[in-house]
């Protein structure tokens, strides 16, 4: 048995790996990187790719040439996404995921000086509401882990992992609600935690409830895009056809809001449709921008500028969304109040889900000793307000928003 075991949190936006030393029962190191794949163009050799922040920087430096993939985790439950061809090389979805896992594994293997083949992988409580799609997502993640060189793979729910990390900070037993608010999902678990129990192998009776909704930081970005920017690209424009006034279909603009949908615009058919609408709208400057955005591969940097503004609004009352490329000039003020309005539907959805979650567990908000918030989206003020309103300001705890899950996955290895 190897001395080390890895906790691997493959996230929608960021992926982390924590190295657990079974001899000292400590985490000795961790690595984190953006869940991004970049295939440069031209390719120096077939299948050339770069991972994470390095890949993103190269893409931006190289004037957005090549392919950039983000939020790949969100595609895992999607049975119709089986494979994609990138510069003549076919990739199955699990192969793309494996490239990212391999990169983290390599860094960790180099650190410990051996090839570690056992890992505890995280998974959201709900990959998908449909059981068959949920099973497919986990199966694909398992395949990806195997391709990346893991032989023995255990799965643990992400918020349960975060709970184990929080447990290590405790002095006394507590009933804890863990909320892991990430890029793609918001996951919850209600657990009875006890620092005396951290090395026990069977914690099933302490796990009171778990659940999740498909709302994460990507959805908040999408709301901002939808409410603030799609009109720059032709949303709402009208055109004449056979003596009728019609509106340009909105589905193009919906797709513009999601990272995983941006490749949709690359097909020839869609390009042709955009050209037709450009003509039908009398060569509108809006459609010109949309065509430029597609031709110049600017969808990613555009969404990035929205994400940057969202992140700035976590610490500032107002900011600007700035995007200045290829004659597309966007300089839009946005304040926190406006942002809160845009995302209100998502916040209400989480709130309603949480009410039902507690009700189903027969737990009142007052019974919860503390709420441990983790995940990047837990830094959004309106998200924190939701928990403070429901559970009281004094109950809210938070730790490392980006590593708690990976650490807890590594700690989970005592269960296996």
370 binds ligand ATP per the rule CB under 6 A: no
Bridge-partner residues for 211, per DSSP?
Answer: 188
11 binds ligand ATP per the rule CB under 6 A: yes
Residue 124 backbone phi and psi in degrees, to 5? -65, 160
Q: Which residues contribute to the site for Mg ion (CB under 5 A)?
A: 11, 182
C-beta of 89 vs 347, nearer to ligand ATP:
347
What residue number has its CB nearest to ligand ATP?
Answer: 217
Neighbours of 306 (CB within 10 A): 23
For residue 303, the minimal CB distance to ligand ATP (Å) is: 10
Contact 87, 41 (CB under 8 A): yes
Partner touching 299 among ligand ATP, Mg ion, none, CB below 5 to 8 Å by kind? none
Left, alpha or beta for 329 (phi > 0: left; psi -120 to 50: alpha)? Answer: beta
Question: Which stretches does DSSP call E strand in 194-235?
Answer: 207-213
CA-closest candidate to residue 406, choices 23, 76, 33, 22: 33
Binding flags for ligand ATP, 56-85, as an x/- string (CB under 6 A): -----------------x------------
165 binds ligand ATP per the rule CB under 6 A: no
Q: Which stretch binds ligand ATP (CB under 6 A): 133-141, 147-155, 241-249, 307-315?
A: 307-315
C-beta of 194 vs 308, nearer to ligand ATP:
308
For residue 383, the minimal CB distance to ligand ATP (Å) is: 8
Tell me, rounded to whole angstroms, the distance of Cα 29 from its chain centroid: 23
Helix (H) or strand (E) holding 367: none
Q: Which stretch binds ligand ATP (CB under 6 A): 9-17, 61-69, 298-306, 330-338?
A: 9-17
Select from 193, 380, 406, 410 the one that contacts ligand ATP (CB under 6 A): 380
301 binds ligand ATP per the rule CB under 6 A: no
* Per-residue b or e along 139-169, where b marks 16 or more CB atoms closer than 10 Å to that residue's CB: ebbbbbbbbbbbeebbbbbbbbbbbbbbbee
Contact 344, 148 (CB under 8 A): no
219 binds ligand ATP per the rule CB under 6 A: no
Contact 224, 247 (CB under 8 A): no
Structure tokens at 118: 């056992």
Q: Which stretch binds ligand ATP (CB under 6 A): 88-96, 281-289, 372-380, 390-398?
A: 372-380
347 binds ligand ATP per the rule CB under 6 A: no
Partner touching 183 among Mg ion, ligand ATP, none, CB below 5 to 8 Å by kind? ligand ATP
402 binds ligand ATP per the rule CB under 6 A: yes
Contact 375, 403 (CB under 8 A): no
Partner touching 408 among ligand ATP, Mg ion, none, CB below 5 to 8 Å by kind? none
For residue 247, the minimal CB distance to ligand ATP (Å) is: 31
Give the side-chain half-sphere CA count within 13 A for 209: 20
C-beta of 178 vs 229, nearer to Mg ion:
178
Task: Compute the distance between CA of residue 122 and CA of residue 9 in angstroms, rounded to an integer.
Answer: 5
Q: Which stretch binds ligand ATP (CB under 6 A): 160-168, 183-191, 203-211, 291-299?
A: 183-191
Q: Diameter of the chain by CA atoms?
A: 78
12 binds ligand ATP per the rule CB under 6 A: yes
Partner touching 370 among Mg ion, ligand ATP, none, CB below 5 to 8 Å by kind? none
Strand order in the sheet with 370-374: 207-213, 186-193, 174-181, 370-374, 396-398
Task: Compute the distance between CA of residue 255 and CA of residue 261 in angstroms, rounded to an integer.
Answer: 5
Partner touching 377 among Mg ion, ligand ATP, none, CB below 5 to 8 Å by kind? ligand ATP
Which stretches of the chain bind ligand ATP, using CB under 6 A? 11-14, 35, 73, 182-185, 216-218, 307, 310-311, 314, 375-377, 379-380, 402
């Amino acid at each position: 048995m190897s001395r080390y075991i890895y906790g691997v949190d493959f996230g929608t936006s960021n992926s982390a790996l924590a190295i657990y030393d079974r001899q000292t029962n400590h985490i000795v190191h961790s690595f984190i990187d953006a869940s991004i794949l970049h295939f440069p163009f031209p390719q120096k050799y077939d299948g050339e790719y770069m991972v994470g922040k390095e890949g993103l920087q190269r893409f931006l430096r190289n004037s957005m040439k090549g392919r950039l993939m983000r939020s790949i985790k969100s595609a895992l439950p999607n049975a119709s996404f089986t494979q994609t061809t990138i510069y003549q090389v076919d990739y199955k979805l699990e192969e793309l995921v494996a490239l990212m896992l391999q990169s983290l594994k390599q860094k960790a293997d180099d650190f410990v000086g051996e090839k570690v083949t056992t890992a505890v992988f995280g998974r959201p409580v709900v990959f998908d509401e449909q059981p068959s799609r949920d099973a497919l997502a986990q199966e694909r993640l398992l395949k990806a882990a195997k391709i990346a060189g893991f032989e023995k793979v255990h799965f643990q729910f992400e918020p349960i992992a975060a709970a184990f990390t929080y447990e290590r900070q405790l002095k006394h037993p507590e009933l804890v609600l863990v909320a892991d608010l990430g890029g793609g999902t918001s996951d919850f678990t209600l657990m009875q935690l006890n620092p005396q129990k951290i090395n026990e192998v069977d914690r099933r009776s302490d796990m009171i409830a778990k659940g999740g909704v498909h709302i994460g930081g990507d959805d908040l970005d999408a709301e901002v895009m939808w409410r603030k920017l799609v009109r720059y690209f032709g949303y709402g424009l009208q055109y004449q056809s056979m003596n009728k006034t019609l509106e340009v279909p909105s589905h193009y603009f919906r797709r513009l809001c999601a990272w995983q949908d941006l490749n949709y615009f690359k097909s020839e058919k869609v390009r042709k449709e955009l050209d037709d609408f450009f003509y039908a709208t009398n060569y509108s400057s809006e459609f010109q921008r949309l065509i430029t955005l597609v031709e110049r591969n600017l969808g990613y940097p555009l969404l990035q500028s929205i994400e940057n503004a969202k992140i700035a609004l976590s610490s500032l009352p107002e900011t600007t969304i700035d995007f200045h490329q290829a004659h597309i000039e966007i300089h839009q003020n946005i304040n926190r109040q406006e942002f809160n309005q845009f995302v209100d539907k998502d916040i209400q959805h989480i709130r309603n889900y949480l009410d039902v979650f507690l009700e189903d567990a027969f737990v009142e908000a007052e019974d919860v000793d503390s709420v441990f918030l983790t995940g990047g989206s837990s830094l959004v003020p309106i998200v924190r307000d939701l928990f403070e309103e429901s559970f009281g300001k004094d109950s809210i705890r938070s730790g490392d928003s980006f590593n708690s899950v990976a650490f807890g996955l590594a700690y989970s290895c005592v269960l296996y």
